């Protein structure tokens, strides 16, 4: 089972909001014991988003399922000492403070490494631990803007805000991946690590194609005008007569030809690689799709090998036959239902295990289990 891969690994999650907690949840899904350390008032994420009857945000519950939560005041002498003791027994630490904050608390990397030579310390920040933006505030939209994730996204008139927050989730995945690699190295050498992971650079790492295109005249990626940004008729989003949307991803000539024949427009087959942007051909496809409701296009194209897929509303996703068959979405019932998506991988054909709800614990209980005091 996936939830046994990191059995015995102890992780301290000192992060807040979305990216760090998501990174720590990935490790929890893989079997690590994750203890989330929050300030006395709790992670601010507890109050962001729809609040349940207990006053806790459902978003917080989703991101922290599978963890044990304790509260420590790191600004106090006792709280700092307790955290240092836990860090001395941990295998990994994920934190998302601005650079320098933990150092001011006496809990920076050097101090913690002195207590635990094998600690893998992952510092997840907006812009990284160095550079002129290191201590600058930001959120997902800012990181996407600087990292190159917004400039080529959306229609030609303006960049489009993406959802869910891409930099946050990309950064969380990058932090988990780097932590796993450092733990693997530690298994060989016994040495811990300090990992500097930034949300901006997690987006930047995906931009090599765009950056290279920008260096070559005539190949600059442009919103609504390039092959993968809306400039090609064979790769786009179209509105149907009933106000729904469909996607067509027929990049390969065989898929495009199958689509053209299925809609009775074999004369379009040879037009696939007209110069970009293909405004005339895109307009023709837009008129075609707008002439019928979504149900017509699902009947006409659903079984055609042409990379066609309707745009599903969130409420439709769990009941889609493909999603239901894979079993990764678990929808609750009752007055406060939530939909949980499990770790997206199968191990030897076995589906991932469901997550337990997060649980609150006293710091003393974790100290007794980890430190023996």
Domains of the chain with CATH codes: 8-206+343-370 (3.40.50.10540), 235-311 (3.30.1540.10)
Lowest mean pLDDT among 44-48, 236-240, 369-373: 369-373
Residue with tokens 């939830």: 3
Pairing of strands 329-331, 339-341: antiparallel
Is the model's pLDDT at 372 over the cut of 90?
A: no
Q: What is the pLDDT of residue 219?
A: 86
**Mean pLDDT across 301-307:** 97
Share of the chain above pLDDT 70, in %: 100
Is the model's pLDDT at 161 over the cut of 80?
A: yes
Whole-number Å distance between alpha carbons of 174 and 143 = 14
Q: What is the pLDDT of residue 371?
A: 86
Q: Which residues are catalytic?
A: 139, 168
- Which sign, positive or negative, has the C-alpha torsion 366, 367, 371, 373? negative
What pLDDT digit, counting tens, does each position of 56-97 carry? 999 999 999 999 999 999 999 999 999 999 999 999 999 999
Residue 316: pLDDT band (50, 70, 90) is: very high
**Mean pLDDT across 37-51:** 96
Q: What is the pLDDT of residue 220?
A: 85
Cα–Cα separations (whole angstroms), residue 327 to 26, 232, 298, 357: 18, 35, 23, 19
Is the model's pLDDT at 373 over the cut of 80?
A: no
| Distance from the Cα of residue 134 to its chain's centroid | 22
**Pair of tokens at residue 259:** 């689509």
Could you tell me if residue 294 is left (phi over 0), alpha (psi between -120 and 50 degrees) or otherwise beta? alpha
Share of the chain above pLDDT 90, in %: 95
What pLDDT digit, counting tens, does each position of 236-291 carry? 999 999 999 999 999 999 999 999 999 999 999 999 999 999 999 999 999 999 99
CA-angle at 132, arms to 126 and 136, nearest 5°: 40
Is the model's pLDDT at 2 over the cut of 80?
A: yes
Average pLDDT of every residue of the chain? 96
**Closest C-alpha to 94, from 192, 9, 201, 19:** 19
């Amino acid at each position: 089972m996936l939830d046994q891969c990191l059995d015995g690994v102890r992780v301290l999650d000192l992060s807040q909001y979305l990216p760090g907690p998501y990174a720590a949840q990935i490790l929890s899904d893989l079997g690590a014991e994750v203890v989330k350390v929050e300030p006395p008032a709790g992670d601010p994420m507890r109050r962001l988003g729809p609040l349940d009857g207990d006053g806790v945000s459902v978003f917080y519950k989703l991101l922290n399922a599978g963890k044990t939560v304790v509260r420590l005041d790191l600004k106090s002498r006792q709280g700092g000492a307790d955290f240092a003791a836990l860090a001395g027994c941990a295998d990994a630490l994920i934190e998302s403070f601005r650079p320098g904050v933990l150092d001011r608390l006496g809990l920076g990397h050097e101090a913690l490494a002195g207590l635990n030579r094998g600690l893998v310390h992952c510092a997840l920040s907006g812009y990284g631990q160095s550079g002129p933006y290191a201590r600058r505030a930001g959120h997902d939209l800012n990181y996407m803007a600087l990292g190159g994730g917004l400039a080529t996204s959306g229609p030609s008139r303006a960049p489009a805000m993406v959802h869910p927050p891409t930099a946050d989730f990309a950064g969380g995945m990058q932090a988990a991946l780097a932590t796993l690699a450092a733990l693997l190295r530690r298994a060989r050498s016994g040495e811990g690590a300090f990992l500097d992971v930034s949300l901006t650079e997690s987006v930047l790492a995906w931009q090599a194609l765009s950056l290279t295109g920008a260096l070559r005249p005539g190949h600059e990626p442009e919103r609504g005008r390039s092959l993968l940004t809306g400039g090609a008729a064979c790769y786009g989003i179209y509105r149907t007569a009933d106000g729904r949307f469909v996607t067509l991803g027929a990049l390969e000539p065989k898929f495009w030809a199958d689509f053209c024949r299925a809609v009775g427009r074999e004369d379009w087959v040879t037009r696939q690689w007209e110069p970009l942007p293909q405004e005339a051909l895109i307009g023709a496809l837009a008129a075609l799709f707008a002439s019928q409701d979504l149900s017509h296009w699902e009947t006409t194209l659903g079984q055609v090998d042409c990379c066609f897929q309707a745009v599903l509303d969130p409420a439709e996703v769990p009941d889609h036959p493909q999603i239901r068959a894979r079993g990764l979405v678990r929808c609750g019932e009752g007055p406060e239902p939530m939909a949980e998506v499990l770790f997206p991988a199968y191990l030897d054909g076995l589906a991932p295990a469901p997550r337990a709800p997060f649980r609150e614990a006293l710091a003393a209980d974790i100290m007794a289990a980890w430190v023996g005091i």
